[in-house]
């Protein structure tokens, strides 16, 4: 069995790492490059940077951040936030990112997935899907969970796979920031129905939650933010705990 991956996520706003609950009430969590260095040393398998800023200089700022991170870390990292063209991706990969994550732009223009895969290869392209339950149905949302779409989670995930994406990063908006655990039922369905890796996001609060999402949710990787940023869980202690629970991890 492939080793399960632990992925700290750094939400970036105006050059700083921030974290909130259900995508609101943001608080500062530190310098992203410094945090990236620490996580790389501590044994994180990968990193994800999501730029949630809304500045006109966003693309240049993000490219500069990617370059600085690439100089300091020796583990793969993914960059997302406002990426909407082949040119955007070209700049970020050229500056040192290993993968890019697209979200709203893929929902609005699904052909973008095909175009990016054709140009850069599926291994570089992660599609992030934010969804929440409405009347018992998982509905894809945009704009940090504020804007519901007519897309249903499982149908959209299948289309994303068919268009060639290499991975799906699924965030449950209902669980995000709550620290009550991941949306394992939905994750298990995604993992069963699809053949590409599924990254679990939203809800990590303790070490048991990670074991649960790998066992019950069948996730290939687990992403978390505040529990790492605010030192509630150490990456090495988490991996040791997972190994003791029979989960294959890289120590």
Mind telling me the catalytic residues? 11, 130
Distance between CA 211 and CA 122 in Å, rounded? 28
- E-assigned strand segments in the chain: 5-13, 16-21, 24-30, 47-51, 77-80, 99-102, 125-134, 137-142, 147-152, 167-172, 198-201, 221-224
Between strands 16-21 and 24-30, the pairing is antiparallel
Distance between CA 229 and CA 26 in Å, rounded? 13
26: helix, coil or strand? strand
Q: How many CB atoms lie within 10 A of CB 184?
A: 22
Distance between CA 251 and CA 78 in Å, rounded? 21
- E-assigned strand segments in 31-113: 47-51, 77-80, 99-102
Of 131, 101, 241, the C-alpha closest to 249 is 241
């Amino acid at each position: 069995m492939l080793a399960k991956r632990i992925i700290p996520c750094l939400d970036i706003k105006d050059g700083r790492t921030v974290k909130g609950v259900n995508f609101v009430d943001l608080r500062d969590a530190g310098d992203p490059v410094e945090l990236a260095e620490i996580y790389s040393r501590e044994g994180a398998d990968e990193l994800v940077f999501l730029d949630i800023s809304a500045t006109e200089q966003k693309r240049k700022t993000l490219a500069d951040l990617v370059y600085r991170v690439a100089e300091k870390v020796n583990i793969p990292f993914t960059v997302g936030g406002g990426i909407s063209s082949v040119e955007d991706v070209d700049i970020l990969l050229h500056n040192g990112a290993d993968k890019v994550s697209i979200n709203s732009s893929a929902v609005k223009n699904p052909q973008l997935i095909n175009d990016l895969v054709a140009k850069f290869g599926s291994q570089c392209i992660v599609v992030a899907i934010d969804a929440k339950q409405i009347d018992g149905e998982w509905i894809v949302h945009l704009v940090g969970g504020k804007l519901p779409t007519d897309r249903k989670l499982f149908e959209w995930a299948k289309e994303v796979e068919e268009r060639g994406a290499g991975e799906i990063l699924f965030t449950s908006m209902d669980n995000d920031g709550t620290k009550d655990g991941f949306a394992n039922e939905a994750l298990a369905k995604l993992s069963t129905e699809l053949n590409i890796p599924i990254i679990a996001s939203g809800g990590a609060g303790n070490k048991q939650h990670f074991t649960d999402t790998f066992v019950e949710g069948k996730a290939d990787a687990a992403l978390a933010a505040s529990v790492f940023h605010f030192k509630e869980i150490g990456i090495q202690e988490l991996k040791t705990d997972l190994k003791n629970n029979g989960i294959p991890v890289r120590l």
